[in-house]
Amino acid sequence: MARHVSRIDVASQGISISQIVQEGGVVSFAYRNNETSEQDLQAMLSRLKNRNGNVPTFGIYFNCASRGEALYGRPNVDTQLILETLGDFPLIGFFGGYEFAQMPQGVQLYTYTGVLVLVYL
């Protein structure tokens, strides 16, 4: 289960989240920022470009609502990087709250992610 940190109390060195964590429960933290998000996307797009140098016929981009202007401080960063790296092609997109992916350990919940579907005809 993913929960955002809702409060940090420096005096007590406590962290508040929106759900009680049971004793023995696993807690992990993820920190994303605009620089690493942009670098990760650029690296992924460069790998795609190296695998197939053709311009896609069209694409669909499913972007987490936590990305975009709220993360980068400016609009259209992800879509501009996609089109600049892979070429000018029709690209439609959607914002969502999170993504699920089937992984070897089972279905996992992901946030701050983007899923790019490219079609070549």
pLDDT reported for residue 32: 74
| Predicted pLDDT at 88 | 96
Q: Is the backbone of residue 85 left (phi > 0), alpha (psi -120 to 50) or beta? A: alpha
Give the per-residue pLDDT at 1: 60
Stretches where the chain sits below pLDDT 50 are: none
13, 77, 93, 100, 111 from 32: Cα distances, Å = 22, 15, 21, 18, 10
